Amino acid sequence: VGLFFQEQPVLKNPFLEDALLRGYLKRHLPQEAILSDLNTFGERVAKDIDTWGRECELNPPRLVHFDPWGRRVDHIVTSVAWKRLKDLSAQEGLVAIGYDKSFGEWRRVYQMSKLYIFSPSSGLYTCPLAMTDGAAKVIQSVGVSPPVEEAYRCLTSRQPERFWTSGQWMTERQGGSDVGSGTETVAVPQADGSYRLHGYKWFTSATDADMTLTLARVQDRSGSTTPGSRGLSLFYAEVSRFEDGRLRGIEVQRLKDKLGTRQMPTAELLLDGLPAHRLSEEGRGVASIANMLTITRIHNSVSAAAAMRRVLQLARDYATRRTAFGKLLKDHPLHMQTLARMEVETRAAFLLVMDVCRLLGREESGLASQLDLHLLRLLTPVVKLYTGKQAVAVVSEGLESFGGQGYIEDTGMPGILRDAQVLSIWEGTTNVLSLDVLRCVARSSGMVLHAYFAHVKSLLAGASGVSSLDPAVKAVGSALSELEQFVQIAASRSPSYLELAA
Ligand code: MFK
Ligand code: FAD
């Protein structure tokens, strides 16, 4: 009795294990140095980094409000592993690669491939990295000059002692989707041209960041503000402390008790005179922070595809170790059909995500055509909403493929499911992103859809081993033509017809 012990699934080098990723990179950027870096990093992920990620889950952050002598300190205590992951992120260039011009138009595919390998083992350090990347992008778009010149260097640094992370404080109690109506935070102008922020930020993740970008309404001399989206401006603020240890202009009210993402702190913050600098023109806050949203939504999609891939890699390995009804799971056709379905979803997600990363890299290296720009605008919300939903479905299916063990906490599987659940909520819920798709269709007079049709047609025409006579290819082709005609008619009528077409 009790002599049998099941072999556990083994995490192997996620780069070597991923034939689709390797095939994609070999086709598109066959630079030996990059492939070798990803291979070495994949080895580290499997050997060390995964354990650090697990440590973050086991030692979640906690808030210390007061020092032993009663002074308010609001110290968010994080684990040793969380701090190590910050240093590692700098050394491995997990943000920096995206800003390294030497990688040309492939900088984003390289960076996101690395994050894709890292993400499921990262203890959710990918969250601050996403916001850090988004902040660097916003700074780039408004101009890398004082007061944010040094911040930009720190956000994109490979030196751990210099590397900064950023927060993204948008959500308030009244509105996370509708920040235009929901934001109450006010910015009080100071004599030196800076501002002091007063308000309450309801969700702020990775709150141990060095700086943040946030939205607020500038107060005029009479103390009044402009309501709605047009009253919002974008602000930059550093998170710093007074000599006595108190946070400057911030009180951390509490840490959220969350379903998942427990590895990282998410706090409610009272802004009580936080010193800040305005980065956008007055009233252009939402449009200016949209650059950050594009980047963080792409990161979100990378994490979603990565979660699916991780569960699948482990499930495939387990299928070679677990026996039921006299044979290994891998020899049960029905079990393999389940894994094959997961594989199809995962591949679709991966290819869509990588295509968007490719487009982003083209845009940032000045090589994007008008068609590329339209596609990037259209596909960013699409890939975020699609992969966010798929991740929950695929990861949930994945847990079942381990039987009861998939439900057991210290296998690490439940954490993957919990963390997947947030991917469709933060950075824009599914329905809000659907509306973003309609917004960009209407504002481009349907051009984003035409770009999409042209893209799919060129993919079909260029696909090797696929005949244009293939009934499936023919069916897709004629469906596209029909849709295209519909969009043309709609575009000639009005934006509301276009939304219908979309
Ligand atoms: C592991 C990886 C994880 C990633 C990190 C996660 C950490 C968690 C962080 C968060 O969750 S941060 C909070 C994220 N919050 C959101 O995503 C908010 C969701 N709500 C929306 O996206 C709304 O659609 C939005 C707030 C943008 C609506 O605001 P408005 O003011 O009603 O939008 P409006 O008037 O349509 O657009 C204002 C301007 O912004 C327009 O520009 P113009 O004035 O020049 O015409 C729009 O074109 C522009 N805009 C809006 N969305 C855009 C955009 N531009 C480009 N891309 C977009 N997506
Ligand atoms: P609501 O906007 O109230 O939405 C409620 C429901 O209404 C949703 O289903 C939504 O889809 C739907 N809805 C809203 N508007 C429409 C519409 N026009 N049409 C149809 N349906 C609609 N925010 C930050 O700013 N910074 C952070 O660091 C951060 N970290 C987070 C961490 C975690 C773990 C979580 C869970 C959230 C975090 N958020 C953060 C907040 C997050 O971005 C918001 O919760 C999210 O954008 C939704 O906003 P809300 O909670 O106000 O929901």
For 191-232, write each residue's pLDDT tens digit.
Answer: 999 999 999 999 999 999 999 999 999 999 999 999 999 999
Q: Is residue 311 included in any domain, yes or no? A: no
324: number of Cβ within 10 Å: 11
Closest CA to 252 of 56, 73, 61, 67: 73
User: If pLDDT is split at 50, 70 and 90, which confidence band does 234 have?
Assistant: very high
Domain that holds residue 199: 166-284
| Residue 175 near ligand 2, beta carbon < 6 Å | yes
Q: Name the domain boundary from 257, 284, 311.
A: 284
- By most ligand atoms within 8 Å of CB, the mutation choice from 129, 138, 177 for ligand 2 is 177
Q: Looking at residue 9, what is its pLDDT?
A: 96
Atom of ligand 1 nearest to the CA of 169: 12
271 within domain boundaries:
yes
| Residue 276 is assigned to a structural domain of this protein | yes
| 170 Cβ closer than 6 Å to some ligand 2 atom | yes
Q: What is the pLDDT of residue 425?
A: 98
Residue 8 lies in a domain: no
Note whether residue 121 is domain-resident: no
Q: What is the pLDDT of residue 295?
A: 98
**Encoding tokens for residue 237?**
């603020």
Query: From ligand 2's centre to the CA of 366, what distance in Å?
Result: 33
Q: Give the domain CATH number at 212.
A: 2.40.110.20
Q: Which residue has the tokens 């799971």?
A: 329
Nearest protein Cα to ligand 1, atom 47:
287
Structural domains counted in the chain: 2
Q: Is 166 in the pocket of ligand 2 (CB under 6 A)?
A: no
Examine the fold and report which residue of 284, 311, 327 is the final residue of a domain before the chain moves on: 284
In a domain, 221, yes or no: yes
Hey, whose CA ends up nearest to atom 42 of ligand 2? Answer: 426
pLDDT for 498 beyond 80: no
Cα 304 from chain centre: 8
| pLDDT at 155 (0 to 100) | 98
- Cα dihedral across residues 218, 221, 223, 225: positive or negative: negative
In the predicted model, is pLDDT for residue 466 greater than 80? no
Please give the mean pLDDT across all residues of the chain: 95
Tell me the per-residue pLDDT of 241-257, one tens digit each, with 9 for 90 and over: 999 999 999 999 999 99
Q: What is the mean pLDDT of residues 432-439?
A: 96
Residue identifier of the C-alpha nearest atom 20 of ligand 2: 431
The reply to whether 198 falls in a domain is: yes
The ligand with the least distance to the CA atom of 421 is 2
Q: Is 450 part of a structural domain of the chain?
A: yes
Tell me phi and psi for residue 370, to 5 degrees: -60, -35
| Pocket lining: 125 vs ligand 1, CB cutoff 6 Å | no
- Regarding the beta carbon of 202 and ligand 2, being less than 6 Å apart is answered no
Q: Which atom of ligand 1 is nearest to the CA of 436?
A: 24
Atom of ligand 2 nearest to the CA of 427: 43
Nearest Cα to 170, choosing from 225, 213, 211?
213
CB atoms inside a 10 Å sphere around CB 121: 24
Q: Among 284, 300, 323, where does a domain finish?
A: 284
Q: What is the pLDDT of residue 492?
A: 80
Whether the predicted pLDDT of 496 surpasses 80:
no
pLDDT of residue 91: 98
Ligand found nearest the CA of 418:
2
